[in-house]
Amino acid sequence: MIQYIVRRILQTIPVLIGVSILVFSMMHLVPGDPAQIMAGESAPQEQVDNLRERLGLNDPLPVQYFTYVSNVVQGDLGNSIRSGRDVGDEIGSRFWVTVELAFYSTILAVFIGIIAGVISATKRNSFADTGIMIVALFGLSMPNFWLGLMLIQWFAIGMDLPSWIPFLENTSWFKPSGWGSFSQIVLPVITLGTGSAAIIARMTRSSMLDVIGQDYIRTARAKGVKERIVIYRHALKNALIPVVTVVGLQFGGLLGGAVLTETVFAINGMGRLVIDSISARDFPVVQGTILVTALLFVFVNLLVDIAYKFLNKRIDLD
Amino acid sequence: MGKPNSYENILEIKNLQTSFFTKDLELKAVDGVSFTIPKQKTLGVVGESGSGKSITSLSILRLIEEPGKIVGGEILFKGENLLKKKESEMRNIRGNEISMIFQEPMTSLNPTLTIGEQIGESFRIHQGLSKKEALKKSVEMLELVGIPSPKKRVKQYPYELSGGMRQRVMIAIALACNPNLLIADEPTTALDVTIQAQILDLIKNLQEQLGMGVLLITHDLGVVAESCDVVAVMYCGQVVEYADVKTLFKEPKHPYTIGLMKSIPPHDQDIEGDLEVIKGAVPSPAEMPTGCRFAPRCPFATELCKTKMPELQTDENGNQIRCWMHTDEWDGVKDREVTVHG
Amino acid sequence: MMEPLHSMDNNQTSPSNSARSKRWNDIFYKLRTNKSAVIGGGLILFFIFVTIFGPLFTPYSPNTQDMVNKLQPPSSEHWLGTDNFGRDIFSRLIHGTGLTLIVGFSSVALGATVGVFLGIISGYYGKRTDSIIMRTMDVLLAFPGILLALAIVSVLGGSLVNVIIAVAISSIPIFARIVRSSTLSVKKLEYIDAMRALGASDRRIIFKHIFPNVTSPLIVQATLSIATAILSASGLSFLGLGAQPPTPEWGAMLSDGRNFLYNAPHVALFPGIAIVIVVLAFNILGDGLRDVFDPKTKD
């Protein structure tokens, strides 16, 4: 087991190197002179030359790359062109906003996805099963930015309710923007989590159906175990093993998807920082944010793989 | 268990019918099967795969799943019809009074639960024991089925055990609550030959110790000869011959039984020689012959056999046979020599 | 056909041509009777039809502005209302259908071609080639979701073509992985060894024997990838990094609608519904294809 963990950690090293090369090259792949872009298009030649010298852009590429990596390892992601601030500081608290958003959305997706998937599988071909699977298909096919806008329209701007409903006049229950309070968190989390909930529901259903057909489920029934316990004690545990891997991938996907959700709900996270920086051509910030997100994703996947291996140990039939 | 002793047979099945339903077809997997298991005796059910043996055994525990359904007959366990029981009453019987072990020990144990949890579950459900007591009992059960260092084993997961060991665990689970009837569905088929004998001996010994009836399902007549008192030969969902084991082996009557016997290798010979095997294959349930179901493969079949289904005849000793050759209407060659191990 | 290997093609270990065509007949029959495949495929055909003939029949031109009638709710004159420039949303949606399909098809075609090539090379040659290619794919996969496409577009600059390129690149790894694993399983079969022993060239083995065996997982994945590609591309346009105004691209139209949620919610509503239906069609078709090609994963 420890051997596996060590091997798995070693495997991430080439990936990390690849990621850093890719992020590093972004700057140089942009058509035009990086120094000119950073200094601004109307900047005088002298200023551009100074910047080029200061950033080491005259050095050969391998040297530049090496400098970049050693800076990153020391926590120095460069300075923002727009604000002149340290990129690490620019990201700062926004990192946690995005992680929180992705984390809550994953929790929601796992919770709803697993419950829906189990209901679907155990009531196979019933009205509930068909209904859940159709909803899941829609969840999978919906652009989350559109869902976000619709949720804002329905539950933040709100609609007037008929007068016979007591106490509630309209449905403007939540806030359309920002991050922090409960009423600000609900809509973005639903927006971001829906797609993953759909994927997890479909996955749980098929995994559960697969497990329910296994011999050991028949053994449990032949033992006189109640159907509810057959499902939750004997089947679910086995069915969730493949779902675990998806959860890790989903969390990563949500980190990426947060870009759109943060834009829709005007949340000050890393996603919005990326978009704003792209339009301002503030490349150090774009690079830094993308690098941090990718590193986080690699790290989460590492954890999930180890967890999966641990769970799966009992399943190896050899 | 202090229940009234007013029954003679532990299990009596009368005209059991179990079918599987597709969109427009009813496939009769078990079609009017009857047999009886006297107290503490062993009934062998023999037949090729597809003969309905396993469906019969799952029907007894009412574990048939959609799209299958028990459509008729009676299953009298200790004189009470199981088909009239509520699901909750059935649950109290399963694993408690009637237990079952399955063919595939490799896949019949839950990979995510420890051996102890899986054996102990029976004690917890049926005897209301605590986790700790159940674990203690599980250790005893493992000892009973001959697993060394049981205290260590209860904490292990199935992947840590060999196939033979796992089948012993299955037996331990089945026998945990001291059942009156054990259904063993091909318990040794998936195991090595040497392990097979051990497992069969184990079942036999425990049967004597615990005094239970056994329903042994197998396609192996050798196993039947060694372990059974009475034998039902099944073909295509029907019993074609039913006799005590001595009579069956001395004078097999049904051509199918004879065919099966000819296909067992004699003990003192290598298996390399020509074994006589029954020609053809079991017809698919969707294309069942209208007459005798064995007629298409039967070397003696006549026009009568192909058009009309023979009834099950019972002789003075209670042995049964479903074959036109053994009726007065027989229109074929009467005095054909029928030999076994010819 | 004059090569000595001809006889190998028709022996039992290698699927013969007639067996293959029977298999395809079989698959077409199953597709016709598979509800998901029929519904999804029918919807897609409908959208293709709309792409070709729709623009001929739209009531308004997609870019004609009419500031007097801006942000009108749906009416008999403007079926789906008008946007902030008074443009007819229905006409714009019809004109945008083709863009959506083209972005979906072309980015997946591009990504799949590269991915299949890399996957086959990787699986067939193994060893160092394999590890270099697959590690590179791992690097691409390390950028979650839309982020890789975003990074690429940020470098290339925002335009519909660049969106196609970006989405294509981010779809390469999944094709490479799928094709690689199918290639590995085909490569293990004995007849491939036999062919090589008989002197068949790598190219011949790859095209005649390995490629046909990777087609079914490929078709399923391509269909599902088109759905994802359409979502990603519309997302990039929504962020202002894709189609530039006044292109009637659905994601960009949605983005216009953002600012008018209070008084004209229909501007954001209808493009979104259009995206959902197209993506749904590809997802349903993908599900159906998977049932047909790979029955063991079906429930």
List, as ranges, residues 126-185 from A with C-beta within 8 Å of C.
137-138, 140-143, 145-147, 149-150, 152-153, 157
In a domain, C72, yes or no: no
In a domain, B340, yes or no: no
Cα B323 → chain centroid = 22
Look at C22 and B114; give whichever has higher pLDDT.
Answer: B114
User: Lowest-pLDDT range, A255-264, A265-274, A301-310, B107-116?
Assistant: A301-310
In a domain, A289, yes or no: yes
In angstroms, the CA B61 to CA B75 distance is 10
Encoding tokens for residue B83?
């088909």
Average pLDDT over residues B241-254: 88
Mutation target among A145, A265, A299 for the C interface, most CBs of C within 10 A: A145
In a domain, A112, yes or no: yes
pLDDT at A148 over 50: yes
User: Lowest-pLDDT range, A279-293, B113-127, B195-209, C134-148?
Assistant: B195-209
Encoding tokens for residue B185?
């569905």
**Closest residue on chain A to C154 (Cα):** A278
Question: DSSP states of A218-275 as a string?
Answer: HHHHHTT--HHHIIIIIIHHHHHHHHHHHHHHHHHHHHHHHHHHHHHTT--SHHHHHH
B121: nearest Cα among A226, A315, A208, A215? A226
Average pLDDT over residues C265-293: 92
pLDDT at B108 over 50: yes
Q: Tell whether C73 is within 8 A of chain A (Cβ).
A: no
Looking at residue B45, what DSSP letter applies? Answer: E
pLDDT at C144 over 70: yes
* pLDDT for the residue A314: 58
Q: Counting runs of H as helices and runs of E as strands, what totals does chain B give?
A: 11, 12
The pLDDT confidence band at residue B163, using thresholds 50, 70 and 90, is: confident
Encoding tokens for residue A60?
């050969």
Structural domain containing residue A145? 92-311
List, as ranges, residues 217-256 from C with C-beta within 8 Å of A.
227, 231, 234-235, 238-241, 251, 254
User: Does A216 sit within 8 Å of B159, measured CB to CB?
Assistant: no
* pLDDT for the residue A313: 65
Same domain, A103 and A230: yes
SS (H, E, C) B285-300: HHHCCCCCCCHHHCCC
Average pLDDT over residues A210-236: 90
Nearest to A143 among C138, C157, C231 (CB): C231
pLDDT at A263 over 80: yes
Average pLDDT over residues A45-66: 83
Same domain, A97 and A7: no
- Can you tell me which residue has the tokens 């012959």? B289
* pLDDT for the residue C183: 86
User: Does A222 sit within 8 Å of B100, measured CB to CB?
Assistant: yes
What's this model's pTM, rounded to 2 decimal places? 0.85
Q: Tell whether C195 is within 8 A of chain A (Cβ).
A: no
Nearest to C276 among A19, A22, A141 (CB): A141
pLDDT in tens, C83-96: 888 888 899 999 99
* pLDDT for the residue C1: 36
State whether residue B274 is helix, strand or coil. Answer: coil
Structural domain containing residue B113? 107-176
User: Lowest-pLDDT range, A4-13, A29-38, A109-118?
Assistant: A29-38
User: What are the start-end ranges of the E strands in chain B?
Assistant: 9-21, 26-38, 42-46, 68-77, 80-81, 98-101, 181-185, 213-218, 230-235, 238-244, 313-314, 320-321
In a domain, A169, yes or no: yes
In a domain, C162, yes or no: yes
Same domain, A195 and A113: yes
Which stretches of chain B sit within 8 Å of chain A by CB? 61, 63, 91-96, 99-100, 102, 104, 106-113, 121-122, 125-126, 157-159, 170, 173
* pLDDT for the residue C12: 40
pLDDT at B312 over 70: yes
Same domain, A162 and A251: yes
In a domain, B150, yes or no: yes
pLDDT at B297 over 60: yes
Q: Which residues contact B86 (CB under 8 A, 6 or more apart)?
A: none
In a domain, C73, yes or no: no
* pLDDT for the residue B271: 45
User: Does A206 sit within 8 Å of C145, measured CB to CB?
Assistant: no
User: Lowest-pLDDT range, A253-262, C177-186, C199-208?
Assistant: C199-208
Neighbours of B84 (CB within 10 A): 9
Look at B341 and A101; give whichever has higher pLDDT.
Answer: A101
The pLDDT confidence band at residue C231, using thresholds 50, 70 and 90, is: very high
CB B36 within 8 A of CB B9: yes
Question: DSSP states of A193-220 as a string?
Answer: HHHHHHHHHHHHHHHHHHHHTSHHHHHH
Burial string for A10-27 (b: 16+ CB within 10 Å, else e) reads eebeebbebbbebbbebb
* pLDDT for the residue C10: 40
In a domain, C33, yes or no: no
Residues of B in Cβ contact (< 8 Å) with A312: none
The pLDDT confidence band at residue B267, using thresholds 50, 70 and 90, is: low
CA distance C139 to chain A (A): 5
pLDDT at C5 over 60: no
Encoding tokens for residue C60?
């308004």
State whether residue B17 is helix, strand or coil. Answer: strand
**Chains A and B touch, contact meaning at least 3 pairs of CB atoms under 8 angstroms apart:** yes
User: Does A226 sit within 8 Å of B159, measured CB to CB?
Assistant: no
In a domain, A87, yes or no: no
* pLDDT for the residue B277: 67
* pLDDT for the residue B214: 92
Same domain, A206 and A264: yes
Q: What is the CATH number of the domain that holds C151?
A: 1.10.3720.10
The pLDDT confidence band at residue B265, using thresholds 50, 70 and 90, is: low
In angstroms, the CA B142 to CA B150 distance is 6
Q: Which residues contact A262 (CB under 8 A, 6 or more apart)?
A: A98, A101, A188, A268, A269, A270, A271, A272
Q: What is the CA radius of gyration of chain C?
A: 23
Mutation target among A11, A260, A286 for the C interface, most CBs of C within 10 A: A260
* pLDDT for the residue B3: 46
Task: Give chain A's domain count.
Answer: 2
Q: Which residues contact B188 (CB under 8 A, 6 or more apart)?
A: B167, B195, B196, B199, B200, B218, B220, B223
Same domain, A142 and A224: yes
* pLDDT for the residue C17: 63
A218: nearest Cα among B32, B174, C299, B22? B174
pLDDT exceeding 70 applies to what percent of chain C? 92
List, as ranges, residues 102-161 from C with C-beta within 8 Å of A.
135-136, 138-139, 142-147, 150-151, 154-155, 157
Nearest to A19 among C142, C227, C235 (CB): C142
User: Does B93 sit within 8 Å of A219, measured CB to CB?
Assistant: no
Encoding tokens for residue A215?
């011999």
Encoding tokens for residue B235?
């073909």
Task: Give chain B's domain count.
Answer: 1
Average pLDDT over residues B147-156: 90
Same domain, A237 and A191: yes
The pLDDT confidence band at residue B266, using thresholds 50, 70 and 90, is: low
User: Does C146 sit within 8 Å of A259, measured CB to CB?
Assistant: yes
Q: Tell whether C19 is within 8 A of chain A (Cβ).
A: no
Burial string for B288-323 (b: 16+ CB within 10 Å, else e) reads ebebbbbbbbbebbbebbeeeebeeeeeeeebbbbb
The pLDDT confidence band at residue B164, using thresholds 50, 70 and 90, is: confident
CA distance A19 to chain C (A): 6
Average pLDDT over residues A259-287: 90
A38: nearest Cα among A24, A51, A57, A22? A51
Encoding tokens for residue B214?
């056994």
pLDDT at A211 over 80: yes
Structural domain containing residue C281? 97-299
In angstroms, the CA B270 to CA C56 distance is 83
In a domain, A83, yes or no: no
The pLDDT confidence band at residue C198, using thresholds 50, 70 and 90, is: confident
pLDDT at C29 over 90: no
**Closest residue on chain A to B64 (Cα):** A218
The pLDDT confidence band at residue B292, using thresholds 50, 70 and 90, is: confident
Average pLDDT over residues C193-210: 81
Strand B181-185 relative to strand B213-218, pairing:
parallel
In a domain, B162, yes or no: yes
In a domain, B164, yes or no: yes
* pLDDT for the residue B276: 58
* pLDDT for the residue C16: 56
State whether residue B35 is helix, strand or coil. Answer: strand
Task: Give chain C's domain count.
Answer: 1
User: Does A314 sit within 8 Å of B93, measured CB to CB?
Assistant: no
The pLDDT confidence band at residue C296, using thresholds 50, 70 and 90, is: low
pLDDT at C273 over 90: yes
Mutation target among A23, A141, A151, A301 for the C interface, most CBs of C within 10 A: A141
Nearest to A152 among C147, C261, C275 (CB): C261
Same domain, A249 and A184: yes
Same domain, A59 and A129: no
User: Does B94 sit within 8 Å of A314, measured CB to CB?
Assistant: no
CB C155 within 8 A of CB A30: yes
The pLDDT confidence band at residue C140, using thresholds 50, 70 and 90, is: very high
pLDDT exceeding 90 applies to what percent of chain C? 38
* pLDDT for the residue A44: 82
Average pLDDT across chain C, whole number: 84
pLDDT exceeding 70 applies to what percent of chain A? 98
In a domain, C82, yes or no: no
Same domain, A215 and A131: yes
